[in-house]
Homo-oligomer: A and B are copies of this chain.
Amino acid sequence: MRIRDPIHGPIPVSDEEKAVIDSRVYQRLRGIRQLGFGDLAFPGATHTRHAHSLGAMHVASRLFDTVAGRAGLPLEVCHRFRSAVRLAVLCHDLGHMPLSHASESIAPARRLLGLPSWLGESPEGVLASHEDFTAKMLLHSELAEIIRQQFGPQGLTPEAVTSLITGQEPPGGLSFLHQGVDWTPLLRALVSGELDADRMDYLLRDSFYTGVNYGRYDIDWIVNNLRPAVKDGKAYLALARVAAFAFEDFLLSRYHMFVSVYYHHTAVNFDYMLRRYYEETPGEFEIPADPEQFLLCDDASLRHTLKRSKNRWAERIVWRRGYKLLAQWTERDEGYDMDALVGALTAAGVEHFKVESLGVLSKYTGEEGARPPGLFILDTTTERLTEVSKYTPLYQRYSGPVRLSRVYVRPDLIEPGREVLARVMHAKGTP
């Protein structure tokens, strides 16, 4: 079967994968928009995690096929690894909650999910993340049986797929050994890492649907220059150094998408209001821990609840009646003082809220322990491998985050708000 995709053209899908896609667990993703409140700022951006996950699966094969073409793996092994990567990428977003990450704040306690212990402890008070729900759906829903039936003959289990997504080792040990080499790090890097299929799809897709160009990067050149790199009995993902600039462009594309699209002041505005709604109406909307009930928990069910709610934030969200942006700035801008502004607004009785978003180049930058897992730059002349963070100066150039500060006020108070702002700025010596 082939599924039409506006980004990648026709996406081939195997019969086994079709069974997964046809499951209710996967179909649920039709009801989860990729950008949450993003369409409030970019009306074209109504795309779902359903389409994204299909696209990411397709990208995953492109990545894998180049790497495998250089690895000399036997056909059968190659086929099994490929199936595993595609399936893991297809399923990586199954546990996403409605509309935005804000919904994770009302997730049930992680321990209520009853996840197996190899996925880690569930300390008191820790809430289930979307990754936890992904594991839950893979292991404890009808999907587990579908995967066993369809992919069992290839030696793939729900546990193996979960392991590739979460990075945790299942009880039976490693599943991706071949001739003494463990291919897990490489496969995992394709599923989740600095240059993974997830990011590679969503940047293109979000650019396409928002109409904003930042997310375009040179996917062909990057794909063509991926290589396997075996070190100490483990296979890692490597990129030939002629594609190092393309990789930098990819990282910068993502950075610019964050500061311009994902942290757009409208999305941030409604995320905040949803958070306030959750705080003020405990129990009104709930994320069920039970897989069968979780199937019904999507954007539409949250919207349905919001529509019937009496809460003030709910009504604002439903009818797109956000607070008004009074001011926004970054560290580069002189004369702004959050404390002074917020203090003055409070004193003047202007209802408001503030949100601060941190834009970073990569979650793998910064402190020592968070290096990009197993991405190397390969000098094909000398076969030298260098950790990507040591090769490119980009991580260093962008070592500090950018802080996007915003203050919003109640719409009918925008004029008094502006007067307060002018007064505060003037006091700071701004012309």
Contacts and interface: CB of A to CB of B under 8 A. Distances in A.
Given A27-B320, A332-B391, A421-B381, A4 B212 contact: yes
Contact of A245 (B43, B259, B334): B259
A211 interface: yes
Interface string A398-431: 1000000000000000000000010001000011
18 contacts: A4-B44, A4-B211, A5-B44, A6-B42, A6-B210, A7-B44, A9-B220, A30-B39, A31-B303, A43-B48, A213-B217, A218-B260, A249-B252, A332-B393, A333-B379, A382-B425, A382-B430, A397-B397
A291 interface: no
B218 A216 contact: no
A307 interface: yes
A180 B221 CA distance: 43
Interface string A4-47: 11110110000000000010100100110100000101111011
Nearest to A252: B252
A244 interface: yes
Nearest to A9: B220
Contacts of A335: 379, 382, 384
Chain B CB within 10 A, most for which of A33, A211, A304: A211
Interface string A203-236: 0000011111110111011001000000000000
Contacts of A124: none
Q: How often does this chain occur in the complex, in copies? A: 4
Contacts of A307: 296
Interface residues of A, number: 79
A332 B3 CA distance: 27
Interface string A293-318: 00010011101100100000000000
A31 B218 CA distance: 29
A371 interface: no
Contact of A244 (B2, B5, B300, B332): B332
Contacts of A214: 218, 249
A92 interface: no
A417 B191 CA distance: 40
A118 interface: no
Given A334-B386, A381-B425, 11 more contacts: A30-B43, A43-B50, A43-B51, A43-B54, A245-B259, A246-B256, A249-B252, A249-B256, A300-B303, A300-B304, A397-B398
